[in-house]
Amino acid sequence: MFRRLFPLSLIAALLALSPARPADKEKDVPEGFTPLFDGKDLAGWEVLDGKKDAWAVEDGMIVTKTGGGGWLMTDKEYGDFEVRVDFKMSEGGNSGVALRAPLSGNVSNTGMEIQLLDDVWHKKNLKDLKPVQYTGAIYGVVAPSKDALKPVGEWNTINITAKGRQITILLNGVKRVDANLDDYKEAAEKDHPGLKREKGHLGLQSHSNRVEFRNVYVKEL
């Protein structure tokens, strides 16, 4: 069989021009951000009000394997920041991202929860589901303006910016919430005192079913 041999220098040049593989790209930390998860263990996090064995690290992801894990909270507190998280829902999945929360009480009220949900399943199975409970909502307070959630089993990216009283939430690049918390003083006085907080811990929730997280980054502002 006849074989054409290529010089090693040509092969090296072609490899240098080839695009980066997706796996390589995922390892790149966005400019200005700091990883909150090293892909190996849960150092820098602690479980609040739940079972530790509901949480695991698998294939470089944080995984809530079942419900009942409560919250996985950062040791460090943050005031003004942008947090970015990739998440993948399973059918019926229910989770959230905690902002400016204390390590006590019901985080959804004592801090803020940004809802993560299998919207399709819950809309079908829960007749009393409200827009302030959809993915991207400030849970119980501000409903998202648009639907940008990908189907179950696909990765989503949520970007949450908290700067002073302004909370901005993008889901897969689509702005879902742009709210001034001062416009929700009644909610802050009644059921959501966490809206008044200026800083606190970040967190991920294990409410029901499996949810996977990767590329968990924060940028302090």
- Domain ranges in the chain are 34-220
What residue type is assigned to position 205 of the chain?
Q
- Name the DSSP class of 25: H
Q: d(Cα 162, Cα 151) in Å, to the nearest integer?
A: 27
pLDDT of residue 20 exceeding 60, the answer is no
pTM: 0.86
Fold of 34-220: Jelly Rolls (2.60.120)
The candidate with the shortest Cα–Cα distance to 41, out of 52, 28, 29, is 52
What tokens does 202 get? 């970040």
User: In one letter, which amino acid is 59?
Assistant: D
Q: Are 105 and 203 in contact (CB under 8 A)?
A: no
Longest CA pairwise span in the chain (Å)? 82
Q: pLDDT (tens digit, 9 = 90+) per residue, 159-188? A: 999 999 999 999 999 999 999 999 999 999
Exposure on the CB side of residue 11, measured as CA atoms within 13 A: 5
User: Minimum mean pLDDT among 21-25, 66-70, 80-84: which range?
Assistant: 21-25
Specify whether the CB–CB gap between 108 and 71 falls below 8 A.
no
- Could you read off the pLDDT of 98-128 as tens digits, one per residue? 999 999 999 999 999 999 999 999 999 998 9
User: What is the total residue count of the chain?
Assistant: 221
